[in-house]
Amino acid sequence: MTTILIFYIIAAKFVYSKFKMAEIKKEEDKITRRRFLDYLLVGSILVTFGAVVGAALNFIYPPKKEGGAEAAEKLEVGPTSDLPEGKAKPVIFENKNVMVIHVKEGFFAVDMKCTHLGCMVEWEEKTLVLKCPCHAAFFDYKGNVISGPAPRALPTYRVEIMSDKIYLVGT
């Protein structure tokens, strides 16, 4: 990055010296081809430099989520009557695929991405387990590994029931 910056500085000095020489000579007030190309070169250097600086600043100081820590995301999944016991419903929450599951113990939400190789797990209603179709990893409704090559449990999400509606709450 430093070499690019040095190149831009040298090019800008070269173009600036050309402009100074053109001002001293004042042969014509018309824009010649050479002067037009000089303007074009300086303009492209400035635009490129601005884009690089803008991207660097955006990386160093990323935009903050409005509201700070209090602005945790909350998603209404639906009424509790729409998800009977033994069923599961896939939803997208915080840009992730999440499975909301209703079992006898209550409502649970787990990430659908298998911790082995990232395949999407599926809910098995008969056995009440999550199954990875790629390499036969099995997880319980809380996301814990039952069997298979998965190295760790599935990430979980907090579920709240308010006024007979299911909500996923972010952290």
What is the span of the domain harbouring residue 50? 2-60
**Nearest in space to 34 (alpha carbons), one of 44, 49, 22:** 22
How far is Cα 123 from Cα 87, in angstroms, rounded to an integer? 8
Task: Please compute the mean of the pLDDT values over residues 120-132 and round it to a whole number.
Answer: 85
Number of domains in the chain: 2
Q: Which residue has the higher pLDDT, 65 or 12?
A: 12
Number of other CB atoms surrounding residue 43 within 10 Å: 11
% of the chain residues with pLDDT over 90: 6
What is the residue whose two structure tokens read 């299911």? 166
Task: Indicate whether 33 pLDDT > 70.
Answer: yes
- Whether 135 and 108 map to the same domain: the answer is yes
- Are residues 17 and 85 located together in one domain of the fold? no
Q: Which band of pLDDT confidence, cut at 50, 70 and 90, is reported for residue 18?
A: low
The CATH number covering residue 158 comes to 2.102.10.10
Residue 29 has what DSSP assignment?
S
User: Where a domain ends, among 16, 41, 60?
Assistant: 60
- Domain-embedded: residue 33: yes
Residues 80 and 105 in one domain: yes
| Distance in Å from the first CA to the final CA of the chain | 37
Residues 115 and 76 grouped into a single domain: yes
Q: Which residue has the tokens 């600086």?
A: 53
pLDDT (tens digit per residue) in 68-116: 444 457 777 888 788 788 888 888 887 788 888 888 888 888 888 888 8
pLDDT of residue 41: 92
Give the pLDDT of residue 102. 86
Domain co-membership, 146 together with 79: yes
Same domain for 43 and 79, yes or no, is no
Quick one: CA dihedral 78, 76, 128, 123, positive or negative? positive
The answer to whether residue 13 sits within a structural domain is: yes
Name which of 5-9, 21-25, 48-52 the model is least confident about.
21-25
State which of 36, 60, 84 marks the end of a domain. Answer: 60
Residues 93 and 163 reside in one and the same domain? yes
Same domain, yes or no, for 79 and 151?
Answer: yes
Note the pLDDT of residue 48: 93
Same domain for 136 and 112, yes or no, is yes
Say yes or no: 52 and 113 in one domain.
no
Q: pLDDT value at position 55?
A: 87
Whether residues 56 and 104 share a domain: the answer is no
In this structure, are residues 157 and 111 in contact, taking their beta carbons and an 8 Å threshold?
A: yes
Q: Which pLDDT belongs to residue 67?
A: 44
Q: What is the DSSP string of 64-111?
A: PPTTGGG---EEEEEEGGGS-TT-EEEEEETTEEEEEEEETTEEEEEE
Query: Are 164 and 86 within one domain?
Result: yes
Q: Is residue 30 part of a domain?
A: yes
The reply to whether 65 falls in a domain is: no
- Per-residue DSSP letter, 112: -
